[in-house]
Amino acid sequence: MATKTGEEYSTKSQELLKMMDEYSVGVFGAVPSFVVSGKGSTLVDIDGREIIDFACTMSAGNFGHCHPVMTKAVKDSIDTVTLTNIATYHESWPRLAKMLCLKFGYDKAATMVSGAEAADSVCKIARKWGITRKRISPAEVLILGSSENYHGLTTGIWPLMDASNQAEEFGVTSRNITNRNPQTGEVLRYGHIEDYEAVFSQMHGRISAVIIECLHGRLPTIEEEINFAIKLRQLCKKYNVLFIADEIRMGCAKTGKFLSCDWMGEENKPDMITLGKSITGGMYPASYILGNNDTMELVGPYSVSSTFAKSPTANIATLTALQIYEDENLLERAAAKAEGLRKSPRSGNTTMSNMLHAEVPMLVL
Amino acid sequence: MATKTGEEYSTKSQELLKMMDEYSVGVFGAVPSFVVSGKGSTLVDIDGREIIDFACTMSAGNFGHCHPVMTKAVKDSIDTVTLTNIATYHESWPRLAKMLCLKFGYDKAATMVSGAEAADSVCKIARKWGITRKRISPAEVLILGSSENYHGLTTGIWPLMDASNQAEEFGVTSRNITNRNPQTGEVLRYGHIEDYEAVFSQMHGRISAVIIECLHGRLPTIEEEINFAIKLRQLCKKYNVLFIADEIRMGCAKTGKFLSCDWMGEENKPDMITLGKSITGGMYPASYILGNNDTMELVGPYSVSSTFAKSPTANIATLTALQIYEDENLLERAAAKAEGLRKSPRSGNTTMSNMLHAEVPMLVL
């Protein structure tokens, strides 16, 4: 049995692949190997082959596998208590909420489980902000996205993304949450500020928020991407529209700063941000929303939460991961390595994506 | 500082509560205590008080805290590898997918992270089924829910629930996914088959699926709830509509059978089910969708998945939890305890909800 990369699966792997194909659906596409263990940057598959893991689950596991400090903290948490949130509080949540707010400079944090839930919830809060503060009617309130951005696969936020024909196949479209110009139906192109200027000038009274991933590796230079994000942020200020940076894929040191929106400078700070994926170093699913009181105080009970949100293990994993970045100077070390890589020869055909790969040793999807 | 139950927070707890209120939003409402550890059915709070945990995080932790077999399996997993899915496969997923399909009698499994994601994804698949198999136009395809059911807080599925004024406040309504009669706007009442007969007779050509939680504890007797679910299931058969049982809250042995829909009998088996919340005994967020090839084969790449779906720890936790139910005869033991409780005196004012609480030692929300 050959794979799309042409590599052969072993007999053992073929059996597992057959079992997987027979009994499951829902894949992204992976390398032709069934992993059994991992350590640092090395995985071992069922045939004993070693694999150098450049991807780390699309950078969710950005300390590599089984980081000893993360492993110990999470195991200790699992030994201490199973799950306490909703019915009771766990003592770690207030500490974590405070740490997140102080580190990222926002008033309040909320937490969910998956990244898609955070992106969905931040849009939900932004809609309420638009209705409550900007007095947009509920049926009219708009959230705009951008082409080529990724926010997760749930239906509440799918219309923010380019889903080719999938949106039609699944019947999931929205007139209120979209990465298209609501009047012309054309996609709002990442990097093209004129697309947003056109929509804002016509419809700013209906627009509650714009959500984007601030860096991508899609434009030729990092400066062009930052400039686009800054211009969009300033457009939002001009028209009293919230600017939301979705940092789930692009945050946690993947672009050379902790948040990709940090490149925009303090004066262009987003109104809200989301965090997820790599925020626990791949140890436990957790996602966060950060914002100021003006937006976050609109969240009441039973509107933004989840059974496993604020779970003791999620809290401990996040607290530990944030500490590891500082204790191990990961950003500084990445910058130093990037400097070396930057000096090494490379082809003239360098895209921004390649540059980001070279500038920090963590993967940009 | 007093709580709504009138109990006082200690000074230590008051500090944490103040910190939580200052730096976070998004609560369900919890007992006035900050937990630091737990074992079995007992929690210990920051003041050293012991709390008997009847709730177990709304029954997500249904083996109690720190079950030794679960704890060991999850810790071993964390020691072995961090996160492998998406970029590679982990060997545990094919085994788990097969186990889920054989145990619950479906062709294929898909997995997500949070329960809300599973409910959202199952509706997404059902919409594609309606469009592809039933030839409903994408703009017209309907998923119907029921009053008093709970499917999670994300916007894709929020319109399935009674959200009082929240749907309006957040501007989240849908004409395609709703627990209201699309023609009259009236809520489709749980337990009232006539509400569904009226909608089905008028609009069956547009209805792709109905999603409900089969048991609730809202009607006076368990028989009335089962009868309602069976009648709704038969109505679905009559009109070629998928019947989806959302077992995220009500599954995993909480109603005296493993699935609440098991009470309906094999001949009334749902077309699809969701599992979550307690499926890992509260150890790790994981959710699953099960269905037959007719629906599940509609899932292609990049449509139903998530970074932490199929994570090694999620798979191991689920495999271990399913084994514990069998090894420890949890359903039989619950039935025996229920028998004793059933014979104990109780007031005449017994609701179905109280009965369920008495019949199984696991909590029905």
From A290, which residue of chain B is nearest by alpha-carbon distance?
A: B24
Chain B residues touching residue A302 (CB < 8 angstroms): 28, 153, 166
CB contact under 8 A, B81 and A66: yes
| pLDDT classification of B335: cutoffs 50, 70, 90 | confident
Interface of A with B in 49-78 (CB under 8 A): 51, 53, 55-58, 60-61, 63-67, 70-71, 74-75, 78
d(C-alpha A112, C-alpha A287), whole Å? 5
CB B215 within 8 A of CB B227: no
pLDDT at site B353 = 43
CA dihedral B47, B52, B54, B56 (to 10 degrees): 50
Of the candidates B51, B177, B307, the beta carbon closest to that of A115 is on B307
Chain B residues touching residue A48 (CB < 8 angstroms): none
CB contact under 8 A, A308 and B114: yes
Strand order in the sheet with B207-212: B108-112, B287-291, B272-275, B242-246, B207-212, B142-144, B177-178
Which run of H or of E encompasses A291?
Answer: strand A287-291
- Best residue of A74, A83, A272 to probe chain B, by most B CBs closer than 10 Å: A83
Which residue type occupies A200? F
At A306, give phi and psi (nearest 5°): -170, 150
d(C-alpha A49, C-alpha B251), whole Å? 40
At A245, give phi and psi (nearest 5°): -100, 115
Evaluate whether B1-66 and B74-325 have a shared fold. Answer: no
Q: What is the pLDDT of residues A137-160, one digit of tens each?
A: 999 999 999 999 999 999 999 999
**pLDDT(B57) > 80:** yes
Asked if B316 is an interface residue toward chain A (Cβ–Cβ < 8 A), one would say no
Chain A residues touching residue B29 (CB < 8 angstroms): 301
Which tokens hold the place of B3?
A: 């709580």
Pick the CATH number of B1-66 from 3.30.70.1230, 1.10.630.10, 3.40.50.2300, 3.90.1150.10: 3.90.1150.10
Q: Please, what's the b/e burial string for B226-249 (b: 16 or more CB within 10 A of its CB; e: otherwise)?
A: bebbbebbebbeebebbbbbbbbb
| pLDDT classification of B135: cutoffs 50, 70, 90 | very high
Asked if A107 is an interface residue toward chain B (Cβ–Cβ < 8 A), one would say yes
Select from A165, A162, A217, A163 the least CA-distant residue to A191: A217
At B263, give phi and psi (nearest 5°): -65, -20
CB contact under 8 A, A89 and B16: yes
**pLDDT(A354) > 80:** no
At B22, give phi and psi (nearest 5°): -75, -40
CB contact under 8 A, B307 and A277: yes
Question: Chains A, B: CB contacts under 8 A, how many?
Answer: 412
Q: What is the nearest CA distance from A272 to chain B, expressed in angstroms?
A: 14
Q: Is the four-CA dihedral B23, B26, B29, B34 of positive or negative sign?
A: negative
B198 Cβ contact partners less than 8 Å away, ≥ 6 residues apart: B181
Among A92-106, A117-131, A211-225, A347-361, the minimum mean pLDDT is found in A347-361
Reported ipTM = 0.93
A234 Cβ contact partners less than 8 Å away, ≥ 6 residues apart: A268
Q: What is the nearest CA distance from A220 to chain B, expressed in angstroms?
A: 26
CB contact under 8 A, B23 and A100: yes
CB contact under 8 A, B78 and A66: yes
Which residue type occupies B218? R
Chain B residues touching residue A55 (CB < 8 angstroms): 86-88
Select from B98, B248, B313, B271 the least CA-distant residue to A24: B98
Chain A residues touching residue B142 (CB < 8 angstroms): none
CB contact under 8 A, B83 and A60: yes
Of the candidates B24, B108, B114, the beta carbon closest to that of A109 is on B24
Chain A residues touching residue B172 (CB < 8 angstroms): 124, 127, 156
d(C-alpha B23, C-alpha B10), whole Å? 20
Chain A residues touching residue B309 (CB < 8 angstroms): 26
To 5 degrees, how large is the angle CA A311–CA A316–CA A322?
Answer: 130
Which tokens hold the place of B308?
A: 């932490």
| pLDDT classification of A7: cutoffs 50, 70, 90 | low
Mean pLDDT value across residues B310-319:
97
Q: What is the pLDDT of residues A16-29, one digit of tens each?
A: 999 999 999 987 76
What's the pTM value of the predicted model, to 2 decimals? 0.93
Asked if B25 is an interface residue toward chain A (Cβ–Cβ < 8 A), one would say yes
Among A4-13, A179-188, B80-89, the minimum mean pLDDT is found in A4-13
d(C-alpha B254, C-alpha B175), whole Å? 33
| Residue spans per domain, chain B | 1-66, 74-325
Of the candidates A23, A66, A170, the beta carbon closest to that of B109 is on A23
| pLDDT classification of B147: cutoffs 50, 70, 90 | very high
Helix, strand, coil % over all residues of chain A, rounded to 5:
40, 15, 45
d(C-alpha A265, C-alpha A270), whole Å? 10
Among A17-21, A157-161, A343-347, B176-180, the minimum mean pLDDT is found in A343-347
**pLDDT(B169) > 50:** yes
Strand partners, A246: A274
The CATH classification number of A74-325 equals 3.40.640.10
Which run of H or of E encompasses B117?
Answer: helix B115-132
A2 Cβ contact partners less than 8 Å away, ≥ 6 residues apart: A8, A9
CB A35 within 8 A of CB B89: yes
A42-45 and A34-39: which strand pairing? antiparallel
Select from B265, B255, B195 the least CA-distant residue to B230: B265
d(C-alpha A25, C-alpha B111), whole Å? 8
| pLDDT classification of B274: cutoffs 50, 70, 90 | very high
Q: What is the nearest CA distance from B134 to chain A, expressed in angstroms?
A: 13
CB contact under 8 A, B28 and A305: yes
